[in-house]
Amino acid sequence: MNHRGRSALLLALVCLAAAGAAAAQDGHAVRVKLERATAREPALRSSAALVLDATGSSVLYARRSDVAMPIASITKLMSALVVIDAGQPLDETVQITSDDLAHRRGAVSRLIPGTELSRGDLMHLALMASENRAAHALGRNYPGGLAACVAAMNAKARELGMTSAHFVEPTGLSDENVASAEDLSKLVMAAAKVPAIREYSTDTSYEVRVGRRVLTYRSTDSLTSKPDWDIVVQKTGYIARAGRCLVMQTIIEARTVVIVLLNSYGKLSRVADARRIRRWMESYEHLHGETPPGLPAATPASAAPAAT
């Protein structure tokens, strides 16, 4: 073989080696992606979390789910639940007073004393926009007053089997309102059975007239405005001791799923964690043709039980 032939052969061998290395690298990248997509656990940034198949009561993922911790404005779901249980008319007018002013750092409200709104409007603002004075007014106007409302909240927690839950006021501004993620999954499922709570908590915006002004409120949960999310009920929460919190009941891959995220680090982490859970469930099914471990097979839409 002459010099030109040997050079051509050497070049060909180098090209083949390079192609093989590139293919191996691509293959490694694909394997990494597959391993990440098929991981048995989503990589969440919340310090406590629970993902529950609500229909089969099957736990898909849990992290410190039995630890009671401050729950911030998730409290408002329980406040709304006991007001509904008391049968108080939602169209009855309730007035905001100086008693509803919270003297806590970060407690912001646009409802000044003297504001008159219906009980339904106040509940709407409390659940959708986490309005603290609205929630406090609901509790203050509960039959028997604020103390009776808090007693009803704790009694309801016991009724629902929320063994570590404890409430001291109806807004969530106190870090003494505590519950575990397991407890909160029970609260979410109970709240999802109430049409008014479902409607108010998942609304994206709402207007109320206060004197001559019209105030526009928006949801504290950005996922409610996303058309690719089917959220049945939701509530956000934040105080310093609780961190960023999010609970919801939603539909993922034709299943009713309860997601509880507590003490998420960073302003956007709770929403990002919810998206990670959804991608984890969807990726596992699409790659394997089956559900993640522990998750029962999907019920066909035509056979799924109607929401109550």
Position of tokens 């709770």? 270
Q: 3-state DSSP call for residue 203?
A: coil
Higher pLDDT, 125 or 6: 125
In the chain, the percentage of residues whose pLDDT exceeds 90 is 70
* Other residues' Cβ atoms within 10 Å of the Cβ of residue 289: 7
CB 259 within 8 A of CB 54: no
- As a whole number, the mean pLDDT across the chain is 85
| Residue 234 pLDDT | 98
Q: Is the pTM value of this prediction over 0.85?
A: no
| Residue 32 pLDDT | 42
Tens digits of per-residue pLDDT, 85-101?
999 999 999 999 999 99
Q: Pick the closest to residue 156 from 194, 118, 112 (CA basis).
A: 194
Residue 81 pLDDT exceeds 50: yes
| Residue 300 pLDDT | 35
CB 270 within 8 A of CB 24: no
| Residue 28 pLDDT | 47
Tens digits of per-residue pLDDT, 153-206?
999 999 999 999 999 999 999 999 999 999 999 999 999 999 999 999 999 999
Separation between Cα atoms, residue 45 and residue 273, nearest integer Å: 7
**Structural tokens at position 228:** 């690719």
Q: Which of 38-52, 191-205, 261-275 has the highest mean pLDDT?
A: 191-205
| Residue 229 pLDDT | 97
| Residue 266 pLDDT | 80
Tens digits of per-residue pLDDT, 14-44?
555 555 555 455 544 434 444 444 456 888 9
**Catalytic positions, please?**
73, 76, 130
Residue 72 pLDDT exceeds 60: yes
| Residue 120 pLDDT | 98
The H-assigned helical ranges of the chain are 3-37, 75-85, 119-128, 132-140, 146-159, 181-191, 195-202, 269-288
**Structural tokens at position 202:** 């998942």
Separation between Cα atoms, residue 202 and residue 228, nearest integer Å: 14
Residue 52 pLDDT exceeds 50: yes
Mean pLDDT calculated for residue range 76-90 = 98
Residue 292 pLDDT exceeds 70: no
Domain layout of the chain by residue ranges: 43-290
Separation between Cα atoms, residue 205 and residue 203, nearest integer Å: 6
Separation between Cα atoms, residue 243 and residue 45, nearest integer Å: 12
| Residue 205 pLDDT | 98
Position of tokens 């680090």? 265
CB 97 within 8 A of CB 113: yes
Report the phi/psi class of residue 28: left, alpha or beta, with left for phi > 0 and alpha for psi in -120 to 50.
alpha
Amino acid making up residue 190: A
**Domain 43-290 part of CATH 3.40.710.10:** yes
CB 61 within 8 A of CB 41: yes
Residue 48, Cα to own-chain centre: how many angstroms? 12
